[in-house]
Structure 1
Amino acid sequence: MVPTRTVELEGHIIDSGTMGRCFGLVMDMGGEFEVEAFDIGRHKDEESYCRMAVRADDPSLLQSILHELHQNGANLSDPVDATLDPAPADQVVPTDFYSTTNHPTEVRYEGEWLPVEHIEMDCAIVVDPDGPRAYTAVLNAIREGDLVVTGEAGIRVDPPDRPRGSGGPFGFMQGGVSSERPSESLIEQVAAALVETKEAGGRVLVVPGPAVIHSGAGDALARLVREGYVDAISAGNGFAVHDLERALYGTSLGMDIETLEHPRKGHKHHIYTISEVIRAGGIEDAVAEGLVEEGVMYECVANDVPYVLAGSIRDDGPLPETITDAIEAQNAIREQAHEADMVVMLATLLHSVAVGNCLPSTTKVVCVDINPATVTQLLDRGSSQAVGMVTDIGTFVPMLAEKVLD
C-alpha cells in the first residue's frame, strides 16, 4: 500500500499562491496528490479551504514532502499531540528536533493548541508543562531536561497572507525587490506606514549602516529620532563612530559631509573620535559633558531612545557601548526585534540579516540599499515579509523624514 497522509490548507491560499506552491512541491519531490475537498472563497474577505491526500513511494520520501508542505502552511488533518523529548545536556537538542520558521506557530499539548511565544526562524520549541506554554529557544539557550518538540506531528504553521488590495498605508507591503517602481511614491507609502505604526502605539526599530552618515542622511535620521518616530536603533560600531565623527569634526571617514573635501589629517578623525569618546567614558558621558552636541547618537541619548551596538572582528576601538560578545549582542538584538512592530533597514547587509533572523513574519519590514544583493539576501534568508527598495540611502532618508514630519 502506498504511504499516504492527508493535509489541509486554509486561508487566502489561491491569490497568495500557497495552493499552487504546495501542488508544485509535491510533484517536484516525486510525490502525488489528490484533492479531496476544495471550497473557494468568492469574496475578498472569504477564505478558501483545500484538503488533499499526499502519496509517495516510501515513508521517508513522504515525510520529506510533508516537511516542505508544513513549512508552507499545510497541516495534517488528523493532528496528534506534539512529541516532546528532554534535552540531553545544556545547548544540546534531541535528534530530529523541530526547527522553526518565522511564521506564527502552534503546538498541540494534551489536546490543546499552544501559541509559540517569540517565534523566529531556526530555533527549537520548548514546552513548559507548568504553564502550559511553548516558546522558542536558540540552541545556546537550551538547558538539560528542557522538553523540546521533535518531529512535525502536532505543529501548525500559519504563513501570513498576501495583503488583500493595494489600498492603505501597508498596501505596498507585497514583498520582493523594486528598483523600477517610482521611489517617491514608495517613500510616501513607507512614511504613511511609519506614521500609522506610531499612531497605533507600535514601536519602530531602525537598523542603519555607516553609509547613512557617509551619504549625508544622518541629520534626517537624527530628526526622526528627535521627533519620536524611532523607538530603538540597532547598529554596529562603525555607524556610531561615523555619526560621532560627524558631530566632532564634521567629517565621515575623513570626508567633509558638506563640501565633500578631505581636510588635512581628516583620515585620522575616525580613530581620534573613538579615542575622545573612550576618554570621556562612553557616548552618554560624551553627551553629558558637551563633547557631542548633535547627531543620531546624541538624539538617542537626549531622548532616551535605546540602542544596541553589536561589534564585529573588524571594528576599530571599539566604543565602550559596543557589545563585543557575539551571543550577548544577539540576545540584545533579539530583545529589540521582539518588541518591534515595524523595522526600517538602511544600507547594512550584515545587520539587516542579523535583525531579520530574529523577526516574526508578521513584523513589517522595509529594507533599503543601493545594492540589490542586500535586499535579495535578506529575502533569501527567509524574511519574505520584507519589501525591498534599491535606491540611494542619501536620498531615501531625507525624503522619508520630510514626508513624515512636514
Structure 2
Amino acid sequence: MFSETIELRGHIIDSLILPKVLDQILTNGGNFKITEVQIGRKRADQSFARIEVSTETGEALDELILRLRQQGAEVLERANAQVAAALGDGVFPPEFYVTTNQQTFVRFGGKEIEVTPSIINSAIAVDRKRGRARAIKFFDVKKGDEIVVGHQGIRVVPVQRATTHTDPFQFINNIVDAEEPKSAIIREIAEELRRVHGARGKIAVVAGPAIVRTGGGAHLVRLIERGCVHRLFAGNAFAAYDVEHALFGTSLGLDPDVAIPRGGHENHLHAINAIRQVGGIAAAVREKVLTSGIMHACVEHGVDIVLIGAVGDEGPIPGVTTNVIECEKIL
C-alpha cells in the first residue's frame, strides 16, 4: 500500500469539505484513517482533521492526492514547488500545474507566495527574485519563463461557508435559492455602490441582455446619469437589444413593457444596420440617430464601453471586439 497524510483546516464540517474528501477517497478506490480531528464548538470556530490516505499503487495515490488538493487538502510535506522553463512563446512545459479560481499558494524557499490573480485554467509563472507568482494564460507566456509543474508545494484554499455576511456579491458564486429574499441582496448591493461612489471609486457593470428584455434598462440609465457607472462590459447582443429598444421600442421583437410582439425578430437586425450605417454607437449618438437608451447614456456621460463578440452574433455592431484573445486581455 502507498500512503500520504493530509490535513484539512477551516469550516470543514458545515461547508461539507470533510465528507466530500472522504467520499473522494472511497470513490477512487482508496482507504482512509482519521488520525486526529478537532471540531469547532462555536459557529465562528474552525475545525481540523488529519487523515492518512492509502491506495494500492503510487499512480493511484498521486491521482487521488491531486483531487483532494482541489478540495483544500494539504499534504504533510514542506517541499518547494517545482518549476520548468516554458518551451516557447505561448507554450507551457509538460505537466504544468493548472489553476482553479480558488486562492492558491506556492512554496519557495520555505515561504508561501500567493498566486495572483485567482483565475481558473491558467498556469503559474514565478519570479523568485521578486517573490511573486502569477496566473497566466497561453498568450502571456514567453519562452524561458519559469512555470510551476506538478503538484508539489502547492496549497489551494477551499471554498468555505462564510460565518458572517460581508460580501454583497457572494451570491454570484452560489446557486440562487428561489425562496431567498432578493430585496435584501439588492439593498446590500445598493449600499455597496453608494459606498464606492461616495469614496470616488470606480464601478464597472457587467451587463446581459436580460436587463433590456425585462425592462430594466431605464434603471441602468439613471445610474449612468448619476455618475455611478464608469465602465460597461457587455456583449454584442446587449448593445443590439438596447439599440433596438431605443429605435423601435422592442427587444428581439417584443415590447419589454407588455411582452407583446411588435415588428418581429427583424427589428434587431434593422437596429444593427442603422448603427453600422453611421459607423458605430458614438457616431450614432453624435448624428442623433440614437437619442435614448443605455448605449446613448454611456456615450453622453463618458462611460467606457467594452463590447465582446460571440460566434452567433449578427453584425456585429462596430466597436465589438471579436478576437477572443483580445477580449480576454481587455477584460
Contiguous gaps of at least 5 residues in structure 2: none
Distance verdict in 2 for CA 1:297–1:165, change over 3 Å:
same
Contact 2:96-2:147 within 8 A present in 1 as well: yes
- 1:327 is aligned to 325
Whichever residue aligns with residue 306 of structure 1, its letter is: D
Pairwise CA RMSD:
2.6
- 1:49 is aligned to 48
Q: Which of these two proteins has the greater Rg computed from alpha carbons?
A: 2
- 1:38 is aligned to 37
Contact 1:163-1:174 within 8 A present in 2 as well: no
User: Distance between the aligned counterparts of 1:53 and 1:322, measured in 2?
Assistant: 53
List aligned pairs for 1:118-129, cutoff 5 A: 118-129=117-128
Q: Displacement of 1:46 after TM fit? A: 2.1
Distance verdict in 2 for CA 1:110–1:174, change over 3 Å:
closer
List aligned pairs for 1:1-400, cutoff 5 A: 2-164=1-163, 175-179=174-178, 181=179, 185-196=181-192, 198-199=194-195, 205-258=204-257, 268-333=266-331
TM-score, scaled to structure 2: 0.89
Distance verdict in 2 for CA 1:173–1:262, change over 3 Å:
closer
TM-score, scaled to structure 1: 0.73
User: Distance between the aligned counterparts of 2:162 and 2:243, measured in 1?
Assistant: 40
Contact 1:91-1:140 within 8 A present in 2 as well: yes
Distance verdict in 2 for CA 1:64–1:261, change over 3 Å:
closer
- 1:343 is aligned to none
User: Distance between the aligned counterparts of 1:320 and 1:167, measured in 2?
Assistant: 40
Contact 1:250-1:256 within 8 A present in 2 as well: yes
Identical positions, percent: 34
Contiguous gaps of at least 5 residues in structure 1: 334-406
After the TM superposition, which of the residue ranges 104-113 and 200-209 deviates more from structure 2? 200-209
After the TM superposition, which of the residue ranges 74-83 and 294-303 deviates more from structure 2? 294-303
Whichever residue aligns with residue 271 of structure 1, its letter is: L
Contact 1:102-1:120 within 8 A present in 2 as well: yes
Whichever residue aligns with residue 121 of structure 2, its letter is: D
Q: Displacement of 1:205 after TM fit? A: 4.4
User: Distance between the aligned counterparts of 1:332 and 1:208, measured in 2?
Assistant: 16
User: Distance between the aligned counterparts of 1:244 and 1:137, measured in 2?
Assistant: 36
User: Distance between the aligned counterparts of 2:176 and 2:114, measured in 1?
Assistant: 31
User: Distance between the aligned counterparts of 2:82 and 2:60, measured in 1?
Assistant: 20
Q: Relative contact order: is structure 1 or structure 2 higher (C-alpha 8 Å, sep ≥ 6)?
A: 1
Q: How far does the alpha carbon of each residue in 1:130-173 deviate from its partner, in whole angstroms, 9 at most, with x for none? A: 31210011123222111111111111111232122579957977
User: Distance between the aligned counterparts of 1:92 and 1:8, measured in 2?
Assistant: 34
**Would you say how many aligned residue pairs link Structure 1 and Structure 2?**
328
Q: Displacement of 1:268 after TM fit? A: 4.5
Whichever residue aligns with residue 319 of structure 2, its letter is: E
Contact 1:79-1:154 within 8 A present in 2 as well: yes
Contact 1:126-1:148 within 8 A present in 2 as well: yes
Contact 1:118-1:135 within 8 A present in 2 as well: yes
Distance verdict in 2 for CA 1:228–1:323, change over 3 Å:
same
Distance verdict in 2 for CA 1:22–1:249, change over 3 Å:
same
After the TM superposition, which of the residue ranges 242-251 and 163-172 deviates more from structure 2? 163-172
